[in-house]
Structure formats: C-alpha cells, structure tokens
C-alpha cells in the first residue's frame, strides 16, 4: 500500500500485448524527440512508469539529453513514499464517498476472482471494496509487477532523483490533485469491465511488460500506439478523452512557452502521449515546430 501509484500509462499497458518483439538493430531510434523552431529546441522523452532495475542503464539518448538539459519537466511531482500525509490523501481521494462499494458494482464472479488473486498476497477483496476501480487496478498491477520481478519506479522517478542529486530545476505540467482526480474517475461507471479485464490479463503481465519495454527502448511508435492508445480506447472509452486527448491539448501551450529563453528543457511524459492521433508531438508539429526522433 505504500508504493507510489503508477501513472495512467501503466493502466493502459496491462490491457494489451504486442505480438512482435522489436530489436534495437531493426529500428535505430529512441523514445526521445527534439522539438525545434529555428535554433531553439525543447526535448521530449516518452517514459515508462514501471521499469525493472535490470533495464538500466537507459537508452543513451535519455542520459545524453539529460546531461545537456538545464530543467527537467515532468507530468506531476511524485510524492515521497515516506510522506504519510500524502499517501493518506491519495487513499482518501480513491475511496467512494457515499454508501457505494466496489463489490456492489462487480458481478459475483469478478468479485470472487479478485478475492482469489488477492489471497496470494494475504489480502482479500473485502478490504479493497471501499475503493474505486482506478486504485484497485493500479494496486493489482503493482502487486503483479512485484510478484514477477518486473517492479521498479520507472523513468520519471529515476530522473527525479538525478535532478535532485544534480540540483537541476524541476517543473510540472499538472498538479498531483489533478492526477488524483483523474485516477479516481477512471473506470467509474464501467467497473465490471475495468476490473475483469485487468484480472484476465494479469497472467500475461510479464510478457506484456517485456514486449512494451522492447518497443519503448527503440522508439517504436506504432507498437506503442497499439499497446496504449488502441487498447485504452477499446477497454475504457469513457476515460480516453480525459486521460489522453484533453491532457495532450493542455500540455502543448506549456511546452510552447518553454521556447524563447536560454534554458534547455527536457520534458518527460508517458510514452502514450507521444503516439496516435492528437498526440503531443503531432499537435506541436501542426503549430509549425520541427519534430525529430533521436
């Protein structure tokens, strides 16, 4: 329960698999892009929010871009896992505020399947019944990642620690309250599908993560679009605009505002925001910026 809550990108990952493993020899690119206008440039990197320690070091483009950047820009500030008040605030935001429970919204079959899965960790479904589906799905993913040795804090947390160590300024595109509200609303109204699909895919989690990491390491945008965008639209259509479309649109003016000063910014956001129709890079290109994948 004390683990950081992964971003919504991870929730999308759990619902999909990719049939072809891509190797670095086949695609000589990375998930880092240079966005430029004239001589001015901002760098944008797509991240994975759960990444095993075995996957370090990161692709060279990430570390090289970090070294030449003055400021790091993240989706939101990650709360310290030792901050009890912040953790409690998260838990409260994810709980039903009326008499509703998750059990009321799930079929008996799905609730039993949830209970059986949690029993492997010495927990049960009744303990989580007061929480909304976004938190429950996130916890299931985090627990499975740890169980199959695929857990890890991910790219965002890694660069946050580096920036702290090197005393580099850190900025944020969203507040933690915004992200908590978004996660609290995810899956609401479609709890049965949301939880049952998560449970049904957990046995494939390790393979899914390995394939996803392969695609991310070489910047395979088509594969990431299939993994994240197409699947999220299918599995949680009511949440798609709030999780992707609107946020992409909100971030673009903030990135535009980074041009025109002497700082070199490195913007790090979930890789799903950099692929598919209406992604951040596409929106910036439509405004006259030049996009180059490194």
Buried b (16+ CB within 10 A) or exposed e, 224-251: bbbbbbebbeebbeebbeebbeebbeeb
Percent of the chain, pLDDT > 90? 63
Flag the least confident range among 160-169, 174-183, 231-240. 231-240
Give the SS3 label for residue 79. coil
pLDDT in tens, 117-161: 999 999 999 999 999 999 999 899 999 999 999 988 899 999 999
pLDDT in tens, 232-251: 787 677 788 999 999 999 99
Name the residue ranges covered by the structural domains of the chain: 8-293
pLDDT at 105 over 70: yes
For 186-210, the pLDDT digits (tens) are: 888 889 988 998 899 899 888 888 8
Position 110 pLDDT exceeds 90: yes
Q: With a cut of 50, say whether residue 9 has pLDDT above it.
A: no
Percent of the chain with pLDDT over 70: 90
pLDDT band per the 50, 70, 90 thresholds, residue 6: very low
Looking at residue 278, its pLDDT comes to 95
Side-chain-facing half-sphere of 293: CA atoms under 13 Å: 16
Strand partners, 74: 172, 268
Residues 251, 281 contacting (CB under 8 angstroms): no
The residue written with tokens 């490194």 in the block is 294
Mean pLDDT of the chain: 87
Mean pLDDT of 261-286: 95
Task: Quote the CA–CA distance of 287 and 261 in Å, as a whole number.
Answer: 19
The CA distance from 218 to 119, in Å, is 38
pLDDT value of residue 89: 81
Query: What band does 17 get if pLDDT is binned at 50, 70 and 90?
Result: very low
Of 207, 157, 158, the residue nearest 6 (C-alpha) = 157
Residue 23 has pLDDT above 50, yes or no: no
Least confident stretch, 16-25, 39-48, 124-133, 159-168: 16-25
Q: Which residue has the higher pLDDT, 165 or 239?
A: 165
State residue 24's pLDDT score. 37
pLDDT digits (tens, 9 = 90+) for 71-87: 999 999 877 777 788 77
């Amino acid at each position: 329960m004390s683990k950081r809550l992964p971003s919504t990108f991870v929730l999308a990952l759990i619902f999909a698999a990719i049939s072809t493993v891509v190797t670095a020899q086949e695609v000589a690119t990375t998930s880092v892009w240079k966005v430029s206008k004239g001589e001015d440039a901002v760098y944008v990197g797509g991240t994975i929010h759960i990444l095993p320690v075995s996957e370090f070091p990161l692709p060279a483009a990430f570390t090289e871009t970090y070294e030449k950047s003055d400021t790091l820009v993240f989706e939101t500030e990650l709360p310290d896992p030792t901050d009890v008040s912040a953790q409690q605030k998260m838990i409260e935001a994810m709980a039903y505020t009326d008499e509703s429970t998750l059990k009321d919204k799930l079929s008996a079959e799905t609730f039993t399947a949830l209970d059986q899965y949690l029993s492997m960790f010495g927990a049960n479904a009744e303990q989580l019944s007061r929480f909304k589906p976004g938190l429950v799905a996130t916890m299931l993913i985090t627990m499975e990642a740890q169980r199959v040795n695929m857990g890890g804090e991910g790219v965002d947390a890694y660069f946050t620690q580096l920036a702290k160590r090197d005393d580099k300024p850190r900025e944020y595109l969203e507040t933690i309250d915004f992200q908590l509200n978004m996660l609290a609303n995810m899956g609401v109204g479609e709890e049965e599908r949301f939880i049952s699909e998560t449970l049904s895919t957990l046995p494939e989690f390790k393979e899914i993560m390995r394939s996803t990491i392969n695609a991310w390491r070489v910047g395979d945008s088509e594969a990431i679009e299939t993994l994240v965008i197409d699947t999220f639209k299918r599995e949680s259509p009511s949440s798609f605009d709030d999780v992707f479309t609107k946020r992409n649109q909100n971030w673009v003016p903030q990135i535009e505002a980074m041009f025109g000063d002497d700082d070199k910014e490195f913007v790090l956001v979930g890789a799903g925001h950099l692929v598919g129709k209406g992604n951040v890079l596409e929106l910036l290109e439509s405004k006259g910026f030049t996009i180059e994948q490194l």
